[in-house]
Structure 1
């Protein structure tokens, strides 16, 4: 796979990370449970970090940031407002985990590309590892959030 294809895949990941960051930020403003708000805030910060790192990597590879128009992003909203208004912690955590699982699959498809530079490879593996943590520890997360007052 050539650099142009890698840049395209990175732009796809960048766009998805930006979309989910926006959804976590929306959640912060619409969830009343303090523990969930804190979790969403941490996730939004982490997604913002990923966005910045991916954007820098795209530029490092000589590419340009190319994003879909805003209307398309709005249509693909991951976490609908009506979901955010629920008080069901298990449901909200499950939705977050589903999003992380999809990201892991998306990252796997890029990581299977053998021609990635070492810096791109390391960045993506780090992101993937951090996302896997949420998936693997969802039970503890739910328990902690339910105990949070």
Structure 2
């Protein structure tokens, strides 16, 4: 097709309806005589997404948001299980290190503990960031956002040193 060709509005609307019904790109391409690339462009212009296998999605933005939320919850649960296993492994390794008399083996066990704790931090880091973002999204005004940040700073600040003048 020539450059600058635009699909007629009625054909584009028909393609959007077929996408929402959950038909695949090849099915729609064959039915309407459009290329897969054109169908992708139509989907982007009309803000519809292709249904994912097993998602129960109709391709509408709301349905896709629900599918993403389900996947996010599933991944969060998986990360929690992995984090628990890492903490259990750390506990077992520390117990072994406490009773180990050979300095080299003790050092190896402590290095294993350190690696498990770094892995735990990496696994849980995303969830910590997400919970902070959720708090920020809940704040509707600039003042509320400042209060959320200030509360976070106070919560993570070290205790004051003795001898400092406090009011």
TM-score of the superposition, structure 1-length normalised? Answer: 0.39
Which structure would you say has the larger RCO, counting Cα contacts within 8 Å and 6 or more residues apart?
1
- TM-score, normalised with respect to structure 2: 0.35
The structure with more radius of gyration: 2
